[in-house]
A and B are shown apart, each in its own frame.
Chain A
């Protein structure tokens, strides 16, 4: 069966520091992968999606970037964090029929 993992689960970073959140999917090949963000009290915002290695689409302009160095690995990064980057970040992958499955999430607090 397919599983998705992301880490770290919780992160507290100072303003201006870099960020790296990692996500891996097991049990499937060439999945569509996604990064979403939930700010406090708000819904889900799609940040990036990827249909293959090295193929990244950005949904909104922002301080973040994404990379897909391997088929089942998806990384969310920032060179310099802003306070507004705080939130709950969710990695997800797409199965057949547009069904999207989510990871456990990563809490980022920028201080």
Chain B
């Protein structure tokens, strides 16, 4: 079964600085990979996804993620964060043909002025 690890529980970043959130997965083949964002008290919104092809994936809100098979990673990046990016971010992995996704524990991002 697949699994996901998000090593960072909480990250604080200054507004305008770059952001990178780490995600490591465990799966024998090429998985489906996702990043979601959750603002306080709201549901999860899909930021981006990777199924195959170009390993650098562009998403909404200026986010991108890079799939690195050799490192079993799918890290999320944003070059310049805005105060509205303060939220919790979840990485998820799915296996082709499986009904379910496995979610990481999440990383909370705080943006300071």
Q: How far is the CB of B34 from chain A (nearest CB, A)?
A: 7
Q: Which A residues form the contact surface with B (CB < 8 A)?
A: 32, 34, 42-44, 46, 49, 51, 88, 90, 92, 94, 97-105, 107
Complex formed: what's the CA distance from A34 to B41 in Å?
Answer: 19
Q: Which B residues form the contact surface with A (CB < 8 A)?
A: 32, 34, 36, 41-46, 49, 51, 90, 92, 94-96, 98-101, 103-106
B103 & A99 in contact (Cβ 8 Å cutoff): no
Complex formed: what's the CA distance from A76 to B106 in Å?
Answer: 24
Contact among B49, B90, B106 for A99, CB-based, below 8 A:
B49
Complex formed: what's the CA distance from A62 to B46 in Å?
Answer: 28
Contact among B46, B95, B99, B103 for A32, CB-based, below 8 A:
B99
B32 & A98 in contact (Cβ 8 Å cutoff): yes
Consensus secondary structure, chain A interface: strand
Please give, as numbers and ranges, the residues of chain B lying within 8 Å of A46 by CB-CB distance.
100
A44 & B34 in contact (Cβ 8 Å cutoff): no
B49 & A105 in contact (Cβ 8 Å cutoff): no
Known: A32-B99, A49-B100, A98-B98. A105 touches B105 (CB 8 A): no
Please give, as numbers and ranges, the residues of chain A lying within 8 Å of B92 by CB-CB distance.
100
- Extra 11 A-B pairs, beta carbons < 8 Å, given A51-B99, A90-B44: A43-B104, A43-B105, A44-B44, A88-B41, A94-B99, A97-B32, A97-B49, A98-B96, A98-B101, A100-B101, A101-B46
Contact among B42, B94, B99, B100 for A104, CB-based, below 8 A:
B42
Please give, as numbers and ranges, the residues of chain A lying within 8 Å of B106 by CB-CB distance.
43
B41 & A107 in contact (Cβ 8 Å cutoff): yes
B43 & A104 in contact (Cβ 8 Å cutoff): yes
Complex formed: what's the CA distance from A99 to B106 in Å?
Answer: 18
B105 & A42 in contact (Cβ 8 Å cutoff): yes
For A34, give the chain B residue with the smallest CB separation.
Answer: B100
Complex formed: what's the CA distance from A45 to B25 in Å?
Answer: 17
Complex formed: what's the CA distance from A42 to B92 in Å?
Answer: 15
Please give, as numbers and ranges, the residues of chain A lying within 8 Å of B95 by CB-CB distance.
98
